[in-house]
Every structure is written in structure tokens, then in C-alpha cells.
Amino acid sequence: MAAGRERAVSARRTLGTRTGVFRPAPGVRERARPRRACGSGGPLAERILAVHDLDDPVGERSPLGAIEAVGGWSLLIGVGYEKCTMLHLAEERSGTLRETVRNGAPLMVGDRRRWVGFDERVVHDEDFPEVGRAFARETGLERLGPIGAAPSRLVPDAELVGFASAWFRGHRTVPVKTDQA
């Protein structure tokens, strides 16, 4: 059963300003998700947005995994790594996320609006600036420059995710999931 939301009338929680500008642009597609939305434009949009499970908003079965798989790059305009959504994919891969939270939203199921419940992992972005600085320092792969008046950085997603996943495993005090858990 496919669940979706009514894009034109649905408010977005935790949606950044730039994403809010990008979202209504011509040709931009968006995955019908109540939280952790992802929009995409261009020739790979359908591929990037093909799968976005409610209970895997930032993992392998999300647009983040697809963006990384097609060789995507993250462009941070006027913000630091604290706003780098791609680092949530690294968190998921690191095995350091254990807690889940029950969530839900009113979604369109067929032609009716229904409350749909789902579980999603609790993410932690407190150390994103630190892992970003380490990535830039240790790999040399961060490209810096202005976009307009905004200091900006461009980083390759596959390298960032691989580095950050290992960094989280080595630096976080969150218990790592084991097969016995």
C-alpha cells in the first residue's frame, strides 16, 4: 500500500530555507514523506527518489544512499557540516545508532487520509562539525569558495560517508550494535 502526502498543502517540519526555495522550482520532484524530505531535479531525479522507506529515512533505502551511489556531492552554502544531511547516512552505516522512536503522520493511502505509524532511528548530529573538520583536514577533499557572499564547501559524498562512518565508530561513545542485541 503506497502512502503519500498532499504536497501542495503539507507543511514541512525541519525543512531548511534553501530546500524550501528548491522544492517548488519547476522540474523538481519530491518523495512523498512526512519527515526528512528529499527533492531532486535533473536526469537522475527518478532514480534518486525511487525508494525512501518510512522506517529508513537516512539509510541505504533512502535518497541519500542513491545520491551516494550515483557519485553525488554535497554543497553546503553558508552553513557548516552541522547541516550536512549526508552525514546521517554515515551514521546509519557506522552501526552507532541504536535507539528508535515511534513516529507517525497523516498520509494519503489510496484516496483517503490515514494516520500511518512508523519507527525511525534517533540520529545524533552534535559531532557533525567535528567529523567535518577531520574530513577536511585528513583527506584534503573539501573544496572551499564563496557562492555570492556565502562561504561554501563542496565535498564528494562517497568519500565523506566512508570517512565519517569509520570516524563515528572510533569516536562515539554510543554503544555499537552487535548481533546479540
Return the pLDDT at 174: 56
Mean pLDDT in consecutive groups of 10 residues from the start of the chain, 181 residues: 44 52 76 70 89 81 92 94 94 90 88 90 92 98 96 97 97 60 44
Return the pLDDT at 120: 84
Return the pLDDT at 32: 64
Q: Which residues lie closer than 8 Å to 143 by C-beta, 6 or more apart?
A: 153, 154, 155
Cell numbers representing residue 159 in the block: 568519500
pTM of the predicted structure, to 2 decimals? 0.80
Return the pLDDT at 155: 98
* DSSP H or E run through 66: helix 63-69
Q: Tell me phi and psi for residue 23, to 5 degrees.
A: -50, -45
Return the pLDDT at 5: 42
CA distances from 48 to 7, 15, 138 (A): 18, 19, 29
Q: Give just the sign of the alpha carbon dihedral 124, 134, 95, 30.
A: positive
Give the residue among 89, 98, 58 at the shortest CA–CA distance from 163.
89
Return the pLDDT at 163: 98
Return the pLDDT at 11: 46
Return the pLDDT at 24: 74
